[in-house]
Structure 1
Amino acid sequence: MIPFSPPFINQDIIDEVVDSLESGWITTGPKVKLLEQEISKFVSVPNVLCINSWTSGAIMILKWLGVEEGDEVIIPSYTYSATALAVIHAGAKPVMVDVGTDFNISVKAVEQAITPRTKAIMPVDFAGFPCDYDALNALVRKEEIKGKFNPSSEVQRTLNRILLISDAAHSLGATYKENRIGKTADITIFSLHAVKNVTTAEGGAIVINMPEPFNNEDLYAEMRRMSLNCQTKDALSKSKAGGWRYDIVGLGLKINMPDINAALGLGQMRIYDELLEKRKYVFNRYVDFFSKFEWAIIPPHKDETRESSYHIFSLRIADFGEEQRDAVITDAANNGVALNVHFIPMPLLTFFKGLGYDIDNHPNAYNNFKNEISLPIYPQLTDEQIDTVCNVVKEAHNAALASNV
């Protein structure tokens, strides 16, 4: 079986984790700080905070923004459920809008959805391919849109416009106009989950890129405290002789990343340029193979302003519906290749249907989903395995077509 997305773990990464264990320091400490520095250097943004998941990071940012009941956050309907669940857990309402054929949020749909209750927009870089950040940044700064903004917290009054949060769960390493994702929004949140390009098993990283008059170094310190229950000393500081006294200065969360997790990501970040090139190699091999077939719709991955992180190869099969797509996945599994689907649009999920979201309002999201299959893409794949994936998918497509499922 060729698995879908195993983590990349070599001896150097194992040694980094063992070093953390042998140090006796396994919760938030020096390795977390080193990982923050590595990500900061990689994206060329000075202030990066590591937390225990993308989801908890998004919840914390929205709570820091000061959202409350009745406030709205605009998100795409075609993403993993965490994008919406974070908004709900923070106390606001997710406003789902449709996407384009590139899988990313429709800027036109975003503009139409903005109301005086809109406090943030959270686009998703689907599969690692960046959204149209120029258009989104121009939108939140448009005088007509700023005129609708109704601030209800000190942070909102200081910003005096809608906050742009990049859901960059997939896009660590992607570029937009020669800048790595991280510089493209006010706040960017990466996922470091087990299946991501860089993993800490579970984890995330918040890139703080707020405009003046915000001081991003001060914000880092504030958010670091907030991730530790708003405690004025972290565990490392408290452990020093005589350093036991602390204070609680606000309503925080407990979402810090442990050192033992950071060690995994640290080992990967140090060679991430190399890992990214290998992912790109696999992606381009798929492009070369499937471009020969009229039925294969190649996923967007590079244009004049954007380049993907090559996180997912989202192949679409022209004229297929869900049953035929599912038959391809089953056939491939029977022949030793694990495929996946990204994602089930949220309005199709029971919880969100119960809240009143309707897939009929998201035709592009459904059309993207109904015939999408995600192919294995990771640095460990050999040329022989890539060839196997290509041929198995081709034969599975032909079989589904012939059986007229």
Structure 2
Amino acid sequence: MAEHPAYPVGLRLTGRRVVVLGGGQVAQRRLPALIAAGADIHLVSPEATPSVEAMAEAGEITWHRRPYTEGDLATAWYALIATSDTEANTRASAEAEAHRVWCVRSDDADAATAWTPATGTSEGVTVAVLTTEARGRDPRHTAAIRDAVVEGLRDGTLVAPHHRTRTPGVALVGGGPGDPDLITVRGRRLLAEADVVIADRLGPRDLLAELPPHVEVIDAAKIPYGRFMAQEAINNALVEHAKQGRSVVRLKGGDPYVFGRGMEELHALAEAGIPCTVVPGISSSISVPGAAGIPVTHRGVAHEFTVVSGHVAPDDERSLVDWPSLAKLTGTLVVLMGVDKIGRIAETLVANGKSPDTPVALVQEGTTAAQRRVDATLATVAETAAAQGVKPPAVIVIGEVVAVGPRGTA
């Protein structure tokens, strides 16, 4: 047997009797996958770990609170032998052999008729890795290979082409604050599988360089006071490319629903009958202050934080922000898209009761290599921002939390 490798196969255990001998750590690790497979699981063990006991109490397994006895494996399809009694394990293994039951032994793999592979899943694909006899069956090596493959599938660095027709549609993907490593695993995978990417300027630009040559990248950048692609044109592009049967990713900075017009795009797709997936992203309103050493909440300092858009001034009739009420809050105020309006914002807050000495931090290009932090107060922020040449994109943090963290983390 040692001269031949194991033959890999996937067992379909739904509704079929599976016997597990032993309720210790090995069973605790293996039972969830057997439960997920829909097996009729019978645990034979006098004792069990709290986690295994909880599975029995939840009705996920049937627990026979006794040691192994002859006949326990007679009608099983599959057995996992994992007791601390070597003699009982040997007898159970012999019974499994006699009844032609595939059997895994945790204490002696050479005496088993089946081995448990290192497994992982990613979007409906199960990866199972078995190390051959020739390599000595090193479990850590096997697990490392499994982890590398699964991680590659999840983050999009390992891409297998689809040879069957995929359902066309659009994914609204939040790319995070700018650092390409801060996009979600699901977002990165969908980006790697896309045929078309419609990207904002604030999306993680470095990820676009990793796309295969056949992927069409459309620049939907809304550059302040410069060229821009009207929202209606973006909506039309999403619909048109999806109707052509292509997989489309709308790559945005931050989160699609935090000042990202994601719902407008979702409505346009719904009206056109286009399926849409929304992938949340890490919002710059939290991540950028954190990257600059500023917690938006801190015990004894701020018990709440408020995120507002500063793209229109407080005295602009289009503003929906209740600035007088914000001035009365004691927590943290985070302003997005407000660099050129910060002077009037500061004046309004002070005029409505906020102390002019309230600390303010402007964090430009947060989480990227170009990140920089400029500190001021409400009384000085307009002058300081102009003198320091602060440009968008920048996140503005107003409140005592600005002074909490070590300044050197900026």
TM-score (norm 1): 0.30
TM-score, with structure 2 as normaliser: 0.30
From the two aligned structures, give the one with the greater helix fraction.
1
1 or 2, which has the higher strand percentage?
2
Structure number with bigger Rg: 2
